Amino acid sequence: MQNNIISGLFVGQNLIILKEVDSTNNFLKNTLSNSKPLPEGTVIMAESQYAGRGQQQNRWHSDDGKNLTFSLLLKPSFLAISDQFDLTRAISLGVYDALFPLLGKNLKIKWPNDIYYNDMKLGGMLIENSIQGSQIKHAIIGIGLNINQDSFPESVPNAASIKQILQRDYDLRQILSDLCRHIEAWYLKLKAGQVNIVRKEYLSRLYWLGENKRFRSATGDFEGIVKDVLNNGLLVVKNSFETELSFNFKEIEFLNK
C-alpha cells in the first residue's frame, strides 16, 4: 500500500506501508537486488515486523501497531567511504530533532546511534551501506522507535516508550512525517558539505558526554568520561589514569542498568 503524507522534498515522498514483513531493511534490500528502481528517499513502513534487527544482529522487540518500524533508502555517493559514520551522525540528529519538541533536554543520542531519554532506550537504527568501488552506492537505514507501547519484556533492558514517559498516545504517521522532514534537513546539510556542523552537533547531544561513568571493555570494568567521537566513528573515553582510549562498535558497554 502506498501513501503520500510527507511534506518534505524527497524523504518519504515514496512511502510504502506493509501490513507485515520480516524486516523492512530486508524488504528494501530484496527489492533493490531484484533490480527494481526506487527513488532516493523511499520509506518502507511496517505495521508488524517479526524479525527486526539492531546493531550486530541484536533483535528488536516491538508490539504490532504501537511503534514506528521503517527503513529509508538514501544514495550518499558524495560521501567518502572513510566518512560513512557522518551518515550515522546526520540520521541520529534528524531523529533527535523530530523527538525533541516532545521530550526536551533529557533526550540524548547514545553512541553510536541509539536514542535515549535519561537512562532509558527509546529506539535505535541499523545502517547498511552498499559499497561500489570507492563510493557508497546506497544506504538502507532501518529505524525503530518505541512510541505507544505500554510495557516491555524483562529480556529487553532499559526500554521505554514515549507513551510511558508522557502518558498519552501519539499519531504514528505524524511522528513519521516529522522524522522524514528532520532527517532530510540533516542529510542535505551533509550533502552541502557542512560536515563540521554535523560532527559538532552530534557530539554536543551525546549521552554521558563529559560525565564520569562506569564502562565495561575487554579488559574489565572501569570509570571514564566520554570525550569525543573520531571522524571514523570511534568513541573516545578518558579513563581514571587520564589515558584516552578509543573503542569501535561493541568494544565498550555503558553500565547504565
Domain residues of the chain, as ranges? Answer: 2-204, 212-254
Name the region of 167 (left: φ>0; alpha: ψ -120 to 50; beta: rest).
left
pLDDT per residue, tens digit, the chain (257 aa), is: 445 567 778 999 999 999 999 999 999 999 998 878 899 999 999 988 776 555 444 554 556 789 999 999 999 999 999 999 999 999 999 999 999 999 999 999 999 999 999 999 999 999 999 999 888 999 999 999 999 999 998 888 899 999 999 999 999 999 999 999 999 999 999 999 999 999 999 999 999 999 999 999 999 999 999 999 999 999 999 999 999 999 999 999 999 87
pTM: predicted TM-score of the whole model, two decimal places:
0.93
Question: Cα 12 vs. chain centroid, distance in angstroms?
Answer: 16
Return the pLDDT at 55.
Answer: 44
CB-side exposure of 82: number of CA atoms within 13 Å?
A: 2
Return the pLDDT at 5.
Answer: 63
Phi, psi of 136 (to 5 degrees): -90, 110
Return the pLDDT at 57.
Answer: 46
Pairing state of beta strands 43-46 and 15-18?
A: parallel
- Its sign, for the CA torsion 253, 104, 211, 233, is positive
Residue 111 contacts residue 117 (beta carbons within 8 Å) = no
- Give the C-alpha separation, 36 to 173, whole Å: 26
CATH 2.30.30.100 fits domain 212-254: yes
- Give the C-alpha separation, 4 to 12, whole Å: 8
Q: Where are the alpha helices (DSSP H) in the chain?
A: 24-33, 85-103, 162-166, 172-191, 195-204
Query: Which residues have a Cβ under 8 Å from the Cβ of 203 and sit 6 or more positions away?
Result: 209, 228, 229
- Give the C-alpha separation, 181 to 35, whole Å: 28
Q: Which fold has domain 2-204?
A: BirA Bifunctional Protein; domain 2 (3.30.930)
